Amino acid sequence: MSSVAPEPIRWVNERLELLDQTQLPEHVVFELQTSLETVYMAIRQLKVRGAPAIGIAAAYGLVVAMQPHRLDGGEAFYNALQSAADRLRTARPTAVNLAWAVDRIVRAAQPAGDGAARYRLIKTAAEEIHEQDRRMCRAIGRAGQHLIKPGAGILTHCNAGALAVSELGTATAPMYLAHAAGIPFRVYAGETRPLLQGSRLTAWELQQAGIDVTLICDTMVARMMAEGAIDRVLVGTDRVTRNGDVVNKIGTSGIAILARHFGIPFYVACPSSTFDPATPDGASVVIEERDPDEVRRVLGRAVAPVDVKVRNPAFDVTPHDLVAGFITDTGLLGPPFDQTLQRLAATDEATKVQRT
């Protein structure tokens, strides 16, 4: 079972194409990535976005970057890979998947060998990251499907769908599986200002899949909850810290606070690749601050005085005590999160051990 949204990342015959998500839903355009720099800019400009997709794109991006180095000696190849990795790690600071995938590619090139041998190792590692992502999404779907009861209203925020990941997405995976099983339910998609991932991407992707989706402005969440339209919140995440704090798209923590007020369970879909046991809590995470013009302008048009002061943090932190549970590739994990989430670290460690 897969969604009907186009896969955001295409890797065919060692050529990388990324779906330019800034043009959705108007145009479906894939761009060939020819260098480290094009991949770096695609991540920075949110042509490819969503934590897992950034990681997969970065992994393939390093493979593309190393194609001209296949005839190098082993050490020269490894040094060039490390400097490409250092550059790519800085493209966006918040989603842990970027550093996770880049580190994994660098580790894959560590065994001795010439450039050609090391190139083959990183190519295989990137393909494994992509395939592992597909498997994790399917497992998240199976772990969360039972949370979607017949007639339920589900609120989601930003886009944690197929466009942000691969195939089923994370927060959307239980929705796709419930829909395939014939369970009737409604999804409310918050539009997600400033860059409108909810309206441009989530509403589009769910509608294409035939799922009953209703678009709301971010300001309408409390009203929908007060009306009784929403039974559960289901969002994705860019990073979950050791204690279970959730870093996700700006606006997520406000939704979680409202959900607590109205007694609505707030769930987070989290693949192993998004759990960051090395960071103790949300306060320790660097929150990306983006261009003020993303707030002053909408789709190329001024909606504010050109020089008005602006804040534009791209993410916020939802404290772990507002989370009912994490829907993960190792099952549904409840509190105490500082203990239960360790299962994700174990899964990731097992993958590393298998691979090296």
Q: What are phi and psi of 269, to 5 degrees?
A: -90, 125
Burial 288-310 (b: 16+ CB within 10 A, else e): bebebeebbeeeeeeeeeeeeee
| 7 three-class SS | coil
Instruction: Compute the CA torsion angle 298, 301, 304, 308 (nearest 10 deg).
Output: 90
**Cis preceding linkage at 25, omega within 30:** yes
245 catalytic? Reply is no
- The one among 57, 65, 122, 158 contacting ligand MRU by CB under 6 A: 158
- The one among 38, 145, 166, 197 contacting ligand MRU by CB under 6 A: 197
Which residue from 201, 188, 180 is spatially nearest to 155, judged by alpha carbons? 188
Whether 157 and 217 have beta carbons less than 8 Å apart is answered as no
Of 45 and 80, which has the nearer Cβ to ligand MRU?
45
- The one among 47, 49, 130, 232 contacting ligand MRU by CB under 6 A: 49
Regarding 133 and contact with ligand MRU (CB under 6 A), the answer is no
- The one among 101, 209, 256, 314 contacting ligand MRU by CB under 6 A: 314
Regarding 187 and contact with ligand MRU (CB under 6 A), the answer is no
Regarding 318 and contact with ligand MRU (CB under 6 A), the answer is no
Q: Which residue, chain included where needed, has tokens 């990681």?
A: 55
In the bound complex, what is the minimum distance in angstroms from residue 159's beta carbon to ligand MRU? 6
CA angle 69, 61, 125 (to 5 degrees): 85
**Which residue has the closest beta carbon to ligand MRU?**
236
In the bound complex, what is the minimum distance in angstroms from residue 164's beta carbon to ligand MRU? 4
CA 164 to CA 34: how far, in whole Å? 21
Regarding 242 and contact with ligand MRU (CB under 6 A), the answer is no
Regarding 240 and contact with ligand MRU (CB under 6 A), the answer is no
- The one among 236, 244, 251, 325 contacting ligand MRU by CB under 6 A: 236
Regarding 245 and contact with ligand MRU (CB under 6 A), the answer is no
Whether 262 and 226 have beta carbons less than 8 Å apart is answered as yes
In the bound complex, what is the minimum distance in angstroms from residue 114's beta carbon to ligand MRU? 37
Whether 118 and 149 have beta carbons less than 8 Å apart is answered as no
Residue list 51-110, contact with ligand MRU (CB under 6 A): 51-52, 95
Of 122 and 233, which has the nearer Cβ to ligand MRU?
233
In the bound complex, what is the minimum distance in angstroms from residue 285's beta carbon to ligand MRU? 13
Q: What are phi and psi of 135, to 5 degrees?
A: -65, -40
Which residue from 89, 92, 88, 66 is spatially nearest to 79, judged by alpha carbons? 66
The footprint of ligand MRU on this chain (CB under 6 A) covers a number of residues equal to 18
Given 20, 231, 238, 245, the catalytic residue: 238
- Bridge partners of 214, per DSSP, are 188
Regarding 251 and contact with ligand MRU (CB under 6 A), the answer is no
Regarding 225 and contact with ligand MRU (CB under 6 A), the answer is no
Q: Catalytic amino acids?
A: 238
